[in-house]
């Protein structure tokens, strides 16, 4: 396999490290660097000076001084993050990343904007590189010539109804699921007497459903995550059966997930992926989800948990999981499919297919000999 060179653009308003667990895109950057760096690929990461992506050269394009000036008063561990593409951090990121890439790039290097349109100005200045949106899990943008979607749910949503019966597909738009470091989680089949909600604490993620279901059944619920400062839980007040944990770091997350009897992810929008669902499965914890989006692909009804639509659906799912009707080991085995080791070859094949457009015979590139 050819060794590729990647220019990886971090998320300007975060720092690429394990501390920013509240930003799924930041964690995808960190994990991508580990996943592909372990396989010997060359990686330049552009971001905050204190970023520490593994196996990558961290090229500082935003100083702590500027970052703290703009975001220093923001408590991202308690509240969802606020940023502006026109603020000083973003504008500094754009300017410096454009220059630093110019100093390092070689023909047919890959440029990877994990933050999509949020870092598009950098990509617009380097059209000679091969730009790939490497993990689309966002609702707008989708502008790069090559696109990797996190699920078929968002892939099909992108193409829309116009693609039904119309030949408008692009063979170089693909689906590769999100990927996870198994070292961050621990399988456990000795569960404690509580259910879990882990994620942004707002009704779009369905936290109220988790609260109402467990209250109705008289079960304990632990809620962990950043709170929507404009939502109904902004004052951190919950019913007596709910224990509010707050922000969960790597170890707290591991302990919460592995000990939970089951985990609620009842998102009320079409989830592009919902990584926390796979994190639970890796830990051997069944999931209770809504019945759309990526859940239709990754939560196998009756096997890894249950997909629900009505209040009664959620009640029955919770009772079944509380009674031990989902096998914890089966959950773990399914979650392992999303390990860094299993997903990396999918990325390598895609990058090679794209590179063949520039260095080979494109779609017709093959190493298979004709039959005699």
Same domain assignment for residues 200 and 104: no
Same domain assignment for residues 156 and 207: no
Check if the beta carbon of residue 273 is closer than 8 Å to that of residue 151: yes
DSSP string, 150-166: S-HHHHHHHH-GGGTTS
Cα→Cα distances 92→46, 67, 119, 232, Å: 12, 10, 12, 35
DSSP-derived letter for residue 118 is G
**pTM (two decimals):** 0.96
Q: Domain for residue 369, yes or no?
A: no
Same domain assignment for residues 301 and 205: yes
Same domain assignment for residues 207 and 350: no
DSSP-derived letter for residue 369 is P
HSE toward the beta carbon, residue 110, CA cutoff 13 A? 27
Dihedral sign computed on CA atoms, order 229, 234, 236, 239: negative
Same domain assignment for residues 288 and 353: no
Run of H or E residues at 213: helix 207-217
DSSP string, 280-303: HHHTT--EEEESSTTHHHHS-BTT
Same domain assignment for residues 318 and 343: no
Same domain assignment for residues 255 and 173: no
Check if the beta carbon of residue 261 is closer than 8 Å to that of residue 195: yes
Which residue segment(s) compose the domain that 322 sits in?
Answer: 182-335
Q: Report how far residue 358's alpha carbon sits from residue 34's, in angstroms, rounded to the nearest whole number.
A: 26
Same domain assignment for residues 252 and 312: yes
Q: Report how far residue 370's alpha carbon sits from residue 372's, in angstroms, rounded to the nearest whole number.
A: 6
Looking up residue 202, the CATH number of its domain turns out to be 3.40.50.2000
Check if the beta carbon of residue 274 is closer than 8 Å to that of residue 289: yes
Mean pLDDT score, 229-239:
89
Structurally, how many domains does the chain consist of? Answer: 2
- Closest to 171 measured CA to CA, from 344, 357, 32: 357
Q: Domain for residue 80, yes or no?
A: yes
Angle at 46 between CA 350 and CA 343, to 5 degrees: 30
Q: Which is it for strands 57-62 and 110-113: parallel, antiparallel or unpaired? A: unpaired
Answer yes or no: is pLDDT of 279 > 70. yes
Q: Alpha-carbon dihedral of residues 103, 104, 106, 108, nearest 10 degrees?
A: -120
DSSP-derived letter for residue 65 is H
Q: What is the pLDDT of residue 241?
A: 98
User: pLDDT digits over 44-80, tens only?
Assistant: 999 999 999 999 999 999 999 999 999 987 777 777 7
Q: What is the pLDDT of residue 187?
A: 98
> Chain centroid to CA 216: how far?
32
Mean pLDDT score, 296-316:
98
pLDDT band at 243 (very low <50, low <70, confident <90, very high): very high
DSSP-derived letter for residue 253 is H
Q: Report how far residue 192's alpha carbon sits from residue 125's, in angstroms, rounded to the nearest whole number.
A: 53
Average pLDDT, the chain: 96
Q: What is the pLDDT of residue 372?
A: 66
**Exposure string (b/e) for 249-259, b if CB count within 10 Å is 16 or more?**
eeeebbebbbb
Contacts 24+ apart (CB under 8 A), 106-111: 106/5, 108/355, 108/358, 108/359, 109/4, 109/5, 109/6, 109/7, 110/4, 110/5, 110/6, 110/7, 110/351, 110/354, 111/6, 111/7, 111/9
Answer yes or no: is pLDDT of 206 > 80. yes
Same domain assignment for residues 276 and 359: no
Answer yes or no: is pLDDT of 82 > 90. no
Q: What is the pLDDT of residue 276?
A: 97
Q: Report how far residue 199's alpha carbon sits from residue 264's, in angstroms, rounded to the nearest whole number.
A: 10
- Closest to 222 measured CA to CA, from 230, 231, 210: 210
Same domain assignment for residues 98 and 20: yes
Check if the beta carbon of residue 117 is closer than 8 Å to that of residue 141: yes
Same domain assignment for residues 56 and 118: yes
Q: What is the pLDDT of residue 143?
A: 96
DSSP-derived letter for residue 3 is P
Q: Domain for residue 58, yes or no?
A: yes
Same domain assignment for residues 94 and 148: yes
Q: Give the other-Cβ count within 10 Å of 1's Cβ.
A: 11
């Amino acid at each position: 396999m050819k060794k590729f060179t990647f220019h990886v653009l971090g998320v300007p308003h975060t720092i690429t490290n394990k501390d920013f667990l509240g930003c799924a895109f930041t964690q995808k950057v960190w994990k991508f660097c580990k996943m592909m760096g372990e396989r010997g690929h060359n990686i330049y990461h552009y971001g905050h000076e204190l970023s520490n992506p593994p196996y990558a050269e961290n090229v500082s394009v935003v100083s702590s001084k500027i970052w703290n000036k703009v975001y220093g008063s923001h408590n991202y561990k308690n509240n969802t993050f606020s940023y502006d593409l026109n603020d000083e951090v973003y504008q500094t990121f754009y300017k410096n990343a454009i220059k630093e890439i110019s100093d390092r790039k070689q023909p047919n290097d890959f440029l990877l904007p994990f933050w999509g349109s949020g870092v598009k100005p950098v990509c617009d200045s380097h059209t000679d590189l091969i730009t790939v949106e490497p993990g689309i899990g966002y609702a707008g943008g989708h502008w790069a010539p090559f696109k990797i979607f996190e699920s078929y749910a968002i892939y099909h949503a992108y193409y829309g109804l116009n693609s039904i019966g119309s030949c408008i597909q692009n063979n170089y738009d693909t689906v590769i699921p999100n990927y996870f470091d198994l070292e961050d989680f621990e399988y456990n089949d000795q569960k404690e007497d509580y259910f879990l909600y882990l994620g942004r604490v707002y009704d779009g993620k369905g936290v109220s459903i988790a609260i109402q279901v467990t209250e109705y059944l008289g079960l304990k619920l632990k809620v962990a995550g950043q709170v929507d400062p404009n939502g109904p839980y902004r004052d951190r007040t919950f019913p007596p059966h709910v224990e509010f944990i707050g922000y969960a770091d790597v170890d707290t997350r591991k302990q919460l997930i592995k000990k939970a009897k089951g985990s609620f992810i009842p998102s009320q929008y079409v989830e592009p992926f919902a990584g926390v669902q796979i994190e639970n499965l890796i830990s051997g914890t069944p999931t209770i989800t809504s019945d759309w989006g990526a859940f239709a692909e990754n939560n196998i009804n009756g096997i890894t948990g249950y997909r629900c639509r009505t209040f009664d659906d959620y009640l029955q799912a919770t009772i079944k999981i509380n009674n031990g009707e989902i096998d914890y080991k089966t959950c773990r085995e399914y979650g392992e499919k999303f390990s860094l080791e299993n997903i990396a070859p999918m990325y390598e094949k895609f990058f090679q297919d794209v590179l063949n457009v520039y260095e080979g015979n494109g779609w017709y590139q093959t190493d298979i000999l004709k039959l005699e």
